[in-house]
Amino acid sequence: MLLQQQDLGAAYYSLQREEILERIARRKNELRDNILILCHHYQSQDMFQFADLTGDSLKLARDAAAISDREFLIFCGVHFMAESADILAREHQKVLLPHLHAGCPMADMATVGAVEQAYKELLSVGIMEEETDMVPVTYVNSSAAIKAFVGERGGSVCTSSNGEKVLAWALNKGKKVFFFPDEHLGRNCASALGVSEQEVLLWRRGERLGGNSVEQLQQAKIVLWDGYCEVHMRFLPDHVRQWRLREPEIQVIIHPECSHDVVSMADQYGSTEAIIAAVAKSPAGSKWAIGTEINLVQRLKRQHPDKEIHLLAPTSCQCTTMDCNQPVNLLWLLDNLAAGKVKNQITVEPAIASLAAKSLEQMLAIC
Ligand code: 13P
Ligand code: SF4
């Protein structure tokens, strides 16, 4: 979903980097009792240095919810993360995104209209008698509207660290599972749970019944929406092979948004927090090839000079939409706050928020 970002004004763009960073530091100090700056691991170091809280998408939203004395939560991440923070925030708190174009293309691949249409088609051919016959599970990388759709039908959110547990819970209900929007996280979790490839179907957007026959859908246990992360798709099985040839003792660790071919060759896979923890606890001299966004890999490199850390792919893999949040946007946001003007607030309608909260709470109950 592309929101319209207001023009900052030419004066901001003529500022030098050092001046921008100094002015952010001053504004942050001036506003310190009223603001909390949250930063996802994929933000550049120029943004990350100003963070009061850092973490993966869910940790940030939960940590922010535990802090009630700051009115403005400045979320340096992408739109769906800011929405989750707004759902979990207290009533008096406002969530602000430095640049409104900071979205997640994968989250936008499952619109609520397309998902509703898929459910209608499944009902029309008798795969479901009622909507609750298929348990919806959505990755946290999804809009609040999708989380609400899932909450309304008794499903659950999952994250990159608890996808297997949530999928196991959904399968234990004895019904089929519809997993949105990331095909790859869904496939990796299904494989880890021992679900056979034949029981996992892909739902192709824009095709009748997702490009499947009624018989195929009847036999399926899990149906995966065909969303993907364009950043994590750039890691390939060949990259793993090449590192293993070059450095036989290298450990390969991968984010589960990567394709199953890559994940199945890795030594470990996990969320951004899990990757950080694995590298941190490894002994000095360890060698790592990491399959996730470049800003995080470069930060790990700087934080662990005693270890050899590489990006798994030879070319830069950057989340360019998250990178829309530049220091100049943060400065503009803070300058406006100092002038009493609230910009770029992300709000979720109360009716959507309460249903979305149900699917988030369901996940917390499972995990
Ligand atoms: P994490 O929850 O692991 O931080 O992942 C979020 C994300 O968008 C990864 O691409
Ligand atoms: Fe979305 Fe991929 Fe960016 Fe994560 S890295 S926010 S999944 S586009």
Q: Beginning with the edge strand found earlier in the chain, give each strand of the sheet holding 156-158 in spatial order.
A: 156-158, 134-139, 176-180, 222-225, 200-203
CB distance 279 to ligand 2 below 6 Å: no
Other Cβ atoms closer than 10 A to 323:
17
What pTM value is reported for the model?
Answer: 0.95
Q: Which CATH class is domain 10-103+321-347?
A: alpha beta
pLDDT tens profile 244-277:
999 999 999 999 999 999 999 999 999 999 999 9
- How far apart are alpha carbons 182 and 189 in whole angstroms? 11
pLDDT of residue 65: 81
CB distance 317 to ligand 2 below 6 Å: no
pLDDT of residue 148: 98
pLDDT of residue 220: 96
CATH numeric code, 107-229: 3.40.50.10800
Which ligand 1 atom lies nearest to the CA of residue 141? 8
Alpha-carbon torsion angle 183, 180, 126, 198, nearest 10: 20
Does the domain formed by 232-311 have CATH 3.40.50.10800? Answer: yes
Residues of the chain with pLDDT under 50: none
Q: Do domains 107-229 and 232-311 have the same CATH topology?
A: yes
- How far apart are alpha carbons 52 and 219 in whole angstroms? 49
- How far apart are alpha carbons 172 and 174 in whole angstroms? 5
Can you say whether residue 9 is alpha, beta or left, with left for phi > 0 and alpha for psi between -120 and 50 degrees?
left
Ligand 1 center to 15 CA (angstroms)? 31
Which ligand 2 atom lies nearest to the CA of residue 80? 6
pLDDT of residue 125: 94
pLDDT of residue 326: 98
Q: Is 156 exposed, middle or buried (0-12, 13-18, 19+ CB in 10 A)?
A: buried
| Atom 3, ligand 1: residue with shortest CA distance | 271
**Which mutation among 322, 323, 325 tests ligand 2's pocket best, with the greatest number of atoms within 8 A of CB?**
322
**Which mutation among 39, 56, 184, 263 tests ligand 1's pocket best, with the greatest number of atoms within 8 A of CB?**
56
pLDDT of residue 2: 67
Which ligand 1 atom lies nearest to the CA of residue 58? 2
Q: Where are the domains of the chain?
A: 10-103+321-347, 107-229, 232-311
